[in-house]
């Protein structure tokens, strides 16, 4: 894509912040969507809960990327927090989709965040973008989240649904919690460790999002995961090797359920997701293996 203006919602998050840094370093003008009064020309006001956005701030953008949403693993899943998780994604996506659809000159592409939680627990079965949604809170959330892009798709805007896996970073997400434990020598498998984790390095996540922006042939769901998912036991063993700490400890499933509540089902669940469409489109991973991804983090 030519040097141009790109709008990013969720720019303060782990992935959004890294994407903004990457775009800015390459000379793109980035419009960050914020929930307060804009502090400068690089910010655009929006309020996803009230379904409002300063549409004028989106004018002239070649791409709009929506990565906003309350953290899935930040709190115990009470009914109230599950509503917050859902509303922050569904209402925000619907707000942006309607806004870009109404522009006189809409963006060339609308990239909307989603998650491999769409597939639910798949056990050892390998799944790609053609698999149906699973059962439970996260799959139903992802279905509604993706459906909220409808106005953009109806307006003819190329719309990509970025179903992201577990991002390997020491700054946030599941791995952000694991790194300090392993550095302290307290790391180990979760549950029996046989559940598959579909991971992706933060660097590759950002590179993949930029690939989605630039590749005109891509639309619909695209999995953002490394090519070869591994079990939790394999991943935690790799962390021990890379960080030179023994992975001796294990957190039993009943303890996880007691501490995390309903969220524990997704931590212990197995998802063996592969990035079929990303690979078919010619994307090359910089850190396809778990040890390389951990070192990069």
CATH number (domain holding residue 162): 3.40.50.720
Per-residue DSSP letter, 150: H
Q: How many domains are contained in the chain?
A: 1
| Integer CA distances (angstroms), 146 to 99, 150, 226, 251, in order | 16, 8, 22, 34
Per-residue DSSP letter, 263: G
**What is the pLDDT at residue 260?**
56
Range of the domain at 47: 5-296
Q: Where are the beta strands (DSSP E) in 98-219?
A: 109-115, 126-127, 158-164, 166-168, 196-197, 199-201
pTM confidence score: 0.94
**What is the pLDDT at residue 177?**
79
Residues 223/162, Cβ–Cβ less than 8 Å: no
What's the rounded Cα separation, in Å, for the pair 273 and 223? 8
Q: pLDDT 10s digit of each residue in the chain, 297 long?
A: 555 899 999 999 999 999 999 999 999 999 999 999 998 889 999 999 899 999 999 999 999 999 999 888 767 778 898 999 999 999 999 999 999 999 999 999 999 999 999 999 999 999 999 999 999 999 999 999 999 999 999 999 999 999 999 999 999 887 887 888 888 887 888 888 999 999 999 999 999 999 999 999 999 999 999 999 999 999 999 999 999 988 877 777 676 666 556 656 666 789 999 999 999 999 999 999 999 999 999
Strand 52-53, strand 43-47: pairing: antiparallel
Contacts of residue 292, defined as CB under 8 A and 6 or more positions apart, other chains included, come to: 201
What's the rounded Cα separation, in Å, for the pair 161 and 229? 20
What's the rounded Cα separation, in Å, for the pair 66 and 111? 6
Gyration radius from the chain CA atoms: 19
Per-residue DSSP letter, 45: E
């Amino acid at each position: 894509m030519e040097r141009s203006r790109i709008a990013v919602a969720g720019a303060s998050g782990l992935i959004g912040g890294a994407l903004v840094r990457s775009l800015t370093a390459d000379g793109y003008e980035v419009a960050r969507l914020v929930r307060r009064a804009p502090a400068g020309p690089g910010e655009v006001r929006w309020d996803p809960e009230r379904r409002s956005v300063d549409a004028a701030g989106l004018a002239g953008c070649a791409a709009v990327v929506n990565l906003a949403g309350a953290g899935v693993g930040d709190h115990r899943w009470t009914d109230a927090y599950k509503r917050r998780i859902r509303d922050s994604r569904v209402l925000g996506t619907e707000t942006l989709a309607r806004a870009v659809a109404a522009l006189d000159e809409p963006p060339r592409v609308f990239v909307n965040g989603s998650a491999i939680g769409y597939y639910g627990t798949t056990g050892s079965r390998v799944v790609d973008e053609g698999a149906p949604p699973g059962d439970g809170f996260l799959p139903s959330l992802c279905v509604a989240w993706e459906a909220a892009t409808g106005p953009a798709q109806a307006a003819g805007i190329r719309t990509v649904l970025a179903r992201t896996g577990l991002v390997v970073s020491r700054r946030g997400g599941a791995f952000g919690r694991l790194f300090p434990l392993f550095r302290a020598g307290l790391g180990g498998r979760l549950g029996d460790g046989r559940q598959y984790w579909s991971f992706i390095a933060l660097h590759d996540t950002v590179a993949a999002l930029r690939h989605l922006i630039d590749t005109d042939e891509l639309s619909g769901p695209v999995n953002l995961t490394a090519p070869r998912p591994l079990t939790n036991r394999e991943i935690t063993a790799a962390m021990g090797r890379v960080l030179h700490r023994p992975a001796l400890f294990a957190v039993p499933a009943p303890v996880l359920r007691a501490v995390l509540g309903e969220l524990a089902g997704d931590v212990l669940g197995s998802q063996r997701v592969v990035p079929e469409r990303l690979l078919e489109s010619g994307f090359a991973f910089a850190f396809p293996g778990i040890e390389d991804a951990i070192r990069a983090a």
